[in-house]
Structure 1
Amino acid sequence: MTDAPIAELRSASKRFGAVLAADDLNLSIERGEFLSFLGPSGCGKTTALRMLAGFEPPSSGQVLLDGQVVNDLPAYRRPVNMVFQHYALFPHLTVAENIGYGLRQQRPRPSTADIAKAVDKALETVRLQGFGPRRIWEMSGGQQQRVALARAIINQPKLLLLDEPMAALDKKLRRDMQIELQSLQRSLGITFVLVTHDQEEALSMSDRICIMRGGKIVQIGSPRDLYDRPKNRYVADFVGKSNFFAGTVDAGGGSLTATGHRLAGRPTQSLIAGQAAWASLRPEQISLTRQPGEGISLPVQVETRIFLGEHTEYLVKNADLGAFQVLVSRQAESTEGGFEPGDKAFAGWQDGAALILADD
């Protein structure tokens, strides 16, 4: 098997009138990986997906599949299938007829027996054995999503594109389907490309995540890389929860002074002394104690308390730095005891734990 990327965007841009929806995108998608486009509404992630699918030709630049430029190749001739947000199933057809629709459009058309065999295999893959005769309206939301997946994989595409396919599912079902999608992707070996605005979904499922803003790619990396080494405040704010303290960079760039407090940390890019920047701290990096501890220890007042099972999320307020979030595990809380709104406490973290980030 070749090591060449399964798909590429090379300086690909898409303009709709005066709106530049995708701006000079450069991206290589590796064979067999699970890649996610992550960003807010209007950031260009769906436009990038539609250019890969063939629904939108790039205004400039190139789209490549298997090393071949496919700018002018229509969607139905690309080795790509897409699962839409609302599944786009045919309500007048049975589950089996929906799944086998693509095979019936092929020329030469496979035999009826071969189509039935392929449909049965697809149903087994998505764990819907015996559901072939049912009508679409008799299926739950999660089952309909599996039907849409079965219809997409039956043609054995090289690239499967998913446009927020779990947006309409409740939280528990969405989590179950995330696990199923990961298992399905590994068993099939097909390259999956997901578009989502849900950071938890992208972090839990992806091999790599492509963060987008304003039609541009901001940063690409593994979930761990993006979480631990975000390029700027935008990425740190979009991937996981973080507390941000505004200040100015100290000499050497390894610390920041915010309202009189020196916050040491790791700069993620070259910064200049005196430059406006942010110190970023994840809520789980901060401890909450009744007595001051080692490292940085700030007096705070507990504003709110939210119980989350294994963790409790506190909003605390310091007279100088303002309000920020603290995530305390049940084990840590058992040592100190729980805190209630109005309690006085100390919020602390290891000196140097913060990231020093630029705005963009």
Structure 2
Amino acid sequence: MNSDSETPIAELRGTSKHYGAVVAAQELDLSIRRGEFLSFLGPSGCGKTTALRMLAGFETPTSGEVLLDGQRVNHLPPHQRPVNMVFQHYALFPHMTVAENIAYGLRQRRPQPDKAGIAEAVERMLETVRLPGFGNRRIWEMSGGQQQRVALARAIVNQPKLLLLDEPMAALDKKLRRDMQIELQSLQRQLGITFVLVTHDQEEALSMSDRICIMQGGRIVQVGTPRELYDRPLNRYVADFVGKSNFFSGIVQDGALVVEGLRVAAAPGAGGTGATASLRPEQIALSRAPVEGMVNLPVRIEARIFLGEHTEYLVRHDRLGGFLILVPRQAEAAEGGFEPGAEAHANWRAEAALILAE
């Protein structure tokens, strides 16, 4: 028998959700580990929020099971689950102070803690989310980032075993979103609570998660660490959604993927079969002349985008039907960079391109 530490904190087993003829989630199988930070990642309508709401108890599965701590909870209402949720727009009570918002969950418990215990817990949460002294503030007096911290404090004050986050940073500007990502990671490590995040932002998922669950069309496509998904995507959809990539589709000939007569990738396998390769931008270099031992593609610089720590180049190769490649180049090196309109060679190791399943 598994010990508590080995039992997943939550599981979806063949879990589906239908709304009439609309399939929102289809046969989801997922095991969520204790203490991990897991993200559901995918475009709008892929089923990630439906999965989150079934874990929370706001949606009842049409079929399959939802388990928390090894117990089936399909028809258990949200307030009877060891789970709490932070919504995209925080859902704070505007008529209450910050302290009253945080204390709300404690006051719903039976038996209810005494006033001194509630006050102590609220102060502890304010310290945890770095808002000491803000207890008497009104919600409308708080910034977006501060409101998010209040929502987090309200969600964790009851010490849930599972904290669900439904795109909680969508309304924040880029810099504040980055700051909050760091704070959420620190908070998760400090509390040891399992965090499950829903996001469509790949950078957010990659930077914060222990594991990521990629979803498409109501189904789970691949689950893995950020590095696994980036380095070994199962198919083009995952490679395209996790990070940036260039794709080549062609025919396998003599151990190489050939596109329009050009050998662009190593491709062991049966000759004559169609295949697609993914090539990450950082695998590509630009040079003024061909480089021996590399795949060399004559290109024209279409655009140069300076991003501070590196420069990205958008290049065109007419023989590939105007195919565009995004090439990052670390802070302009000795060659001095390339101007738009210039001719150059994009080069990479043939083994750097990953052959994908169709």
Confirm or deny that 1:324 pairs with 2:322.
Answer: no
Q: Which residue of 2 aligns with 1:38?
A: 41
Amino acid at match of 1:290: R
Secondary structure (helix, strand or coil) at the match of 2:350 reads coil
- Alpha-carbon contact 1:284-1:327 (below 8 Å) kept: yes
Alpha-carbon separation, structure 2, partners of 1:71 and 1:159 = 16
What whole-Å deviation, never above 9, does each CA across 1:26-62 have from its counterpart, x for those lacking one?
Answer: 0000000000000000000000000000000100000
Q: Which residue of 1 aligns with 2:311?
A: 312
Which ranges in structure 1 are unaligned for 5 or more consecutive residues?
A: none
Q: Which residue of 1 aligns with 2:273?
A: 275
What is the CA-CA distance between 1:257 and the residue it aligns to?
A: 1.3
What whole-Å deviation, never above 9, does each CA across 1:319-359 have from its counterpart, x for those lacking one?
Answer: 222221101011xx222111111011110001211011133
Confirm or deny that 1:259 pairs with 2:260.
Answer: yes
Question: 1:235-246, aligned counterparts within 5 Å?
Answer: 235-246=238-249
- Alpha-carbon contact 1:303-1:315 (below 8 Å) kept: yes
What whole-Å deviation, never above 9, does each CA across 1:141-191 have from its counterpart, x for those lacking one?
Answer: 000000000000000000000000000000000000000000000000000
Amino acid at match of 1:303: E
Q: Which residue of 2 aligns with 1:9?
A: 12
**Percent of pairs identical after alignment?**
74
What whole-Å deviation, never above 9, does each CA across 1:61-81 have from its counterpart, x for those lacking one?
Answer: 000000000001111100000
Which ranges in structure 2 are unaligned for 5 or more consecutive residues?
A: none
What is the CA-CA distance between 1:266 and the residue it aligns to?
A: 6.4
Confirm or deny that 1:122 pairs with 2:122.
Answer: no
Q: Which residue of 1 aligns with 2:299?
A: 300
What is the CA-CA distance between 1:303 and the residue it aligns to?
A: 0.2
Q: Which residue of 2 aligns with 1:355?
A: 354
Question: 1:80-159, aligned counterparts within 5 Å?
Answer: 80-159=83-162
Alpha-carbon separation, structure 2, partners of 1:159 and 1:72 = 18
- Alpha-carbon contact 2:213-2:221 (below 8 Å) kept: yes
What is the CA-CA distance between 1:265 and the residue it aligns to?
A: 3.5
- Alpha-carbon contact 2:252-2:267 (below 8 Å) kept: no
Alpha-carbon separation, structure 1, partners of 2:267 and 2:52 = 34
- Alpha-carbon contact 1:242-1:281 (below 8 Å) kept: yes
Secondary structure (helix, strand or coil) at the match of 2:301 reads strand
Matched pairs, number = 352
Alpha-carbon separation, structure 2, partners of 1:203 and 1:345 = 32
Alpha-carbon separation, structure 2, partners of 1:78 and 1:37 = 20
Secondary structure (helix, strand or coil) at the match of 1:204 reads helix
Amino acid at match of 1:351: A
Alpha-carbon separation, structure 1, partners of 2:166 and 2:287 = 44
Aligned mate of 2:184, from 181, 186, 196: 181
Q: Which residue of 2 aligns with 1:211?
A: 214
Instruction: State which drifts further: 318-327 or 242-251.
Output: 242-251
- Alpha-carbon contact 1:37-1:195 (below 8 Å) kept: yes
Amino acid at match of 1:334: A
Secondary structure (helix, strand or coil) at the match of 1:334 reads coil
What is the CA-CA distance between 1:272 and the residue it aligns to?
A: 5.3
What is the CA-CA distance between 1:245 and the residue it aligns to?
A: 1.2
- Alpha-carbon contact 1:276-1:358 (below 8 Å) kept: no
Amino acid at match of 2:283: Q
- Alpha-carbon contact 1:289-1:346 (below 8 Å) kept: yes
Give the 3 Å change call, closer, same or farther, for CA 172–266 of structure 1 in structure 2: farther
Alpha-carbon separation, structure 1, partners of 2:357 and 2:280 = 16
Give the 3 Å change call, closer, same or farther, for CA 81–265 of structure 1 in structure 2: farther
- Alpha-carbon contact 1:83-1:162 (below 8 Å) kept: yes
Alpha-carbon separation, structure 2, partners of 1:349 and 1:31 = 41
What whole-Å deviation, never above 9, does each CA across 1:208-230 have from its counterpart, x for those lacking one?
Answer: 00000000000000000000000
What is the CA-CA distance between 1:256 and the residue it aligns to?
A: 1.5
Q: Which residue of 2 aligns with 1:230?
A: 233
Secondary structure (helix, strand or coil) at the match of 2:315 reads strand
- Alpha-carbon contact 2:256-2:263 (below 8 Å) kept: yes
Aligned mate of 2:283, from 285, 288, 292: 285
Runs (4+) of structure 1 exceeding 6 A deviation are: none
What whole-Å deviation, never above 9, does each CA across 1:81-119 have from its counterpart, x for those lacking one?
Answer: 000000000000000000000001111111111000000
Alpha-carbon separation, structure 2, partners of 1:266 and 1:33 = 36
What is the CA-CA distance between 1:273 and the residue it aligns to?
A: 4.1
Amino acid at match of 2:263: R
Give the 3 Å change call, closer, same or farther, for CA 272–36 of structure 1 in structure 2: farther
Amino acid at match of 2:74: N
Alpha-carbon separation, structure 1, partners of 2:88 and 2:150 = 13
Q: TM-score, normalised by structure 1?
A: 0.96
Alpha-carbon separation, structure 2, partners of 1:95 and 1:316 = 52
Amino acid at match of 1:25: L
Secondary structure (helix, strand or coil) at the match of 1:234 reads helix
Amino acid at match of 2:275: A
